[in-house]
Amino acid sequence: MSCCPPSPARVGCASPAKTIDETGGSPGAVVRFPDTASFIGTDRPFLKFDGEAPRRAVRLKAFGIETETVTNARFDAFVAATGYVTEAERFGWSFVFQIFLDENLSAPAPVETPWWRKIDGACWRAPEGPGSSVADRRDHPVTHVSWNDAVAFANWCGGRLPTEAEWEHAARGGADDRRFPWGDEEPTDSTILCNIWQGRFPDMNIAADGYTGTAPARSFAPNPAGLFNMAGNVWEWCADPFRTRSLARAGRERDRIAAAERERLMKGGSYLCHISYCYRYRIAARMGRNPDTSTGHIGFRVAYD
């Protein structure tokens, strides 16, 4: 089960995204990791059908990754400098979670995930649809950005999206085996360690962590490497296609479907995750969606060679 909406049927509905060929932006604060042996995945999978297992050894080249997700302020600067128009803006709609909707807005819900609504006019600068704004959320992670939008921004500031192996290594703060960025302690409705759902999903969020939606990108204690919000807050796009090759027959079928749909990988979970429903704020957890997907709980951070 997933807190995410299904991949939208958007192919062929809008003109191609603007290509950003020139570097114009500046990197944010970056943590550097040296060339090293590391690993990806886990031998303690919880959602086996997502391809979390098995744990596999990898060799990482030296890389850098930003300490926080890209904020609304930084994305605003990117748009002002380049004239970039996100896919949600070009398609004319994006997915908004039901509790954030203005009572005057109504839209059909996907059958698979009825707590999402397809809202005309929802985009990064109007996260809840017409009349909403990010003016008081400049330091929050940008949302309603597709994988393609994230790649365009990363190109602009001279970076790229992280690979899954890099993302997991960074989330652990190195090669230590841990379930969460802070260790193995389970966050609960009373032990607040990150921005996830508290209460009964999807009907009641008691917001014990102080947030019903996104939190500022530098909220909560950073992991040992100094990275913020590697669990919860917003899903983060990665460079990789979403594949589940580690599974047997069912995994091959899922891989075939994912390849046909061109799904891209997301890591980290979001403010909508809860252990009772979408236990994907663990480091090894993963999810895939079409590269033109946008929602109110997907963002990204930038990596560098």
Residue 19 covered by a domain: no
Give the pLDDT score at 24.
83
Tens digit of pLDDT for each residue in 216-265?
999 999 999 999 999 999 999 999 999 886 444 455 666 666 555 689 99
Q: What is the CATH number of the domain that holds 66?
A: 3.90.1580.10
Residue 41 covered by a domain: yes
Residue 20 covered by a domain: no
Residue 159 covered by a domain: yes
How much of the chain, in percent, has pLDDT values that exceed 90?
Answer: 75
Residue 98 covered by a domain: yes
**Three-state secondary structure of the chain:** CCCCCCCCCCCCCCCCCCCCCCCCCCCCCEEEECCEEEEECCCCCCCHHHCCCCCEEEEECCEEEECCCCEHHHHHHHHHHHCCCCHHHHHCEEEEEHHHCCCCCCCCCCCCCCCEEEEECCECCECCCCCCCCCCCCCCECCCCCHHHHHHHHHHCCCECCCHHHHHHHHHCCCCCCCECCECCCCCCCCCCCECCCEECCCEECCCCCCCCCCCCCCCCCCCCCCCCCCECCEEEEEEECCCCCCCHHHHHHHHHHHHHCCEEEECCCCCCCCCCCCCCCCCCCEEECCCCCECCEECCCEEC
Q: How many domains does the chain have?
A: 1
For residue 46, what pLDDT band results from cuts at 50, 70 and 90? very high
Residue 6 covered by a domain: no
Give the pLDDT score at 17.
58
Give residue 245's domain range: 30-304
Residue 7 covered by a domain: no
Residue 142 covered by a domain: yes
